[in-house]
Amino acid sequence: MKFISIFYGLFLLSILGIYWTVSLPKLKLWVILIASLVFYTSWQIQYLPLLLALTFINFRLALEISKSTSTVNNLQNSQLSNEEWRIAQSDWNLYKFKVLWLGITLNIGLLLGFKYLPIVLKWIFNTSLDSGNSSFKFVAPLGISFFTFECIAYLIDVYRGAPATNQFLKFATYKLFFAKLISGPITRYHNFVLQFNNLQFPNINRISEALWLIARGAVKKGILADNLGIFVDLCFGNLQRAGSTDLWLATIAYGLQLYLDFNGYVDIARGSALLFGLVLPENFDFPYFSTSIADFWRRWHITLGDWLRNYLYFPLGGSRRGLMRTCVNLFIVMIIAGIWHGSAWGFIIWGALHGIALAVHRLTDALSDRFYVLSAFWHNPIGVIFAWFLTQFMVFTSWIWFRLPNIQDSALVVQNFWGRNADAQFFEKVYVEALNSTPHQISWLMFLLFLVMLTTYAFKRSMKLELSWPVKLIIAPMCFYAVWLLAPEGSLPYIYFDF
């Protein structure tokens, strides 16, 4: 069931009708849970038992961790000597730690198993589950990465002292909520469930905001990202024939496509949740206007960045153990982020590039604190523009390894960035027959898109201006109609469904 489809619209409306008709909070949870099971069944029914089993296992593990915490508190109030209490506390803390690592190992092992099983089998049996010679095609469960990350976050939060729920219905509804199930945003349990305590039927402002989020998400994905994706696929699918200009345009187009594709998904997810009275976290904050790589990661895939900071970077020591150790920690975190995105070497290179960039930024910050001239340059308008260009050049060029994780393909793109002309057949097939356009026109279209993004950024961040609810209600249907007219036939799959 695609987000941008009449079927999803009818599904959403029917579920909302039932959801707001029933009055008991428990029944509302059941409505969301059943709807989520139906939604996932429309994608991959074969993995539904696995997700349910994992949900129950993580629910029980968190209860066990919470139980050990309660036991320590009870022992503290019992008639034990200080020495006996310290021994008992140490034993229970060790037990709690073991249960936590059992849960983390289970979730990470499952995630890595699905991502790396094809590679392992290829090494052992010299065959691939995805090849044409295989008796079946291996497909990992949709949303398994986001699913396991949320489970790990929940277990760690409980280990750190947050209360574990004893209501499986609440936990299952949180884990399987259809709006965020497949590609996030990554949401913490306690922030999500607290909203059920104050559920109210959305007012006109919330309804208009929800429809506006869904409508603009559909435009980002259906019109902008998918049309950019056609050009990207044509260029990166014909690397031997593409010229330097084509590869540069495709690289920029892919950076825009990835952002609009994922941001469009999150907008639709957040808009859908808002109609249920639930607020999902923001996941993007104009990342392509960042002036440093650190600022980029505070604005790009925000919930993943928060997860990496809270559950990897800080446990590794963060920035508390000196400058060089901070740089090493940043590099390790980004390598792990690359491994999380995929099993090919290209993702690891992408993570390493971002890790190096974050380390260089941290070193530059340290130098700027010591030298006033350097600090003044970065705060000067020229320095700000230079920092923005440097940041985005690094971000967009590193997307090459993200889009082409096969090192031979990505290396070929980098080699052909300068001094290569496209052959005549490539120009004829791509620009004349497929796109009915020219490289010059595509460049101007992407520049126009950048100006629209810049204008939106200026209105929202600098002028603090927002559309009023009547305007949103007027524009939303126009957006849906535009998607129906202008979206290419057979929409492209969401990019982050692969991760």
Question: Which residues are the active-site residues?
Answer: 341
Q: What is the 3-state secondary structure (H, E, C) of 76-144?
A: HHCCCCHHHHHHHHHHHHHHHHHHHHHHHHHHHHHHHHHHHHHHHHHHHHCCCCCCCCCCCCCCCCCCH
> Closest Cα to residue 475, out of 212, 274, 219, 266?
212
How many CB atoms sit inside 10 A of residue 204's CB? 10
| DSSP symbol at 268 | H
- CA atoms within a 13 Å half-sphere pointing along the CA-CB vector of 254: 22
Report yes or no: 292 and 298 within 8 Å, Cβ to Cβ. no
**d(Cα 348, Cα 16) in Å, to the nearest integer?**
42
- CA atoms within a 13 Å half-sphere pointing along the CA-CB vector of 129: 13
Cis peptide before 381 (omega within 30 of 0): no
Report yes or no: 284 and 299 within 8 Å, Cβ to Cβ. yes
**d(Cα 280, Cα 315) in Å, to the nearest integer?**
26
- Give the Å distances, CA to CA, from 65 to 94, 100, 244, 334: 11, 7, 56, 29
Q: What is the DSSP string of 414-472?
A: HHTTSS-PPPHHHHIIIIIIISS--HHHHHHHHHHHHHHHHHHHIIIIIS-----HHHH
Taking each helix axis as running N to C, give the angle between helix 168-176 and helix 25-44, from 0 to 180 degrees, rounded to the nearest 10: 40
**d(Cα 171, Cα 153) in Å, to the nearest integer?**
13
Which amino acid is present at 278? Answer: L
How many CB atoms sit inside 10 A of residue 432's CB? 11
Q: Give the helix ranges, DSSP H, for 168-220.
A: 168-176, 178-181, 189-193, 204-218
**d(Cα 136, Cα 115) in Å, to the nearest integer?**
16
> Closest Cα to residue 285, out of 106, 460, 88, 44?
460
> Closest Cα to residue 276, out of 496, 36, 471?
36
**d(Cα 341, Cα 348) in Å, to the nearest integer?**
9
The total number of residues shown for the chain amounts to: 499
Question: What is the distance, to the nearest Å, from the Cα of residue 123 to the centroid of all Cα atoms in its chain?
Answer: 30
Report yes or no: 326 and 362 within 8 Å, Cβ to Cβ. yes
**d(Cα 3, Cα 366) in Å, to the nearest integer?**
45
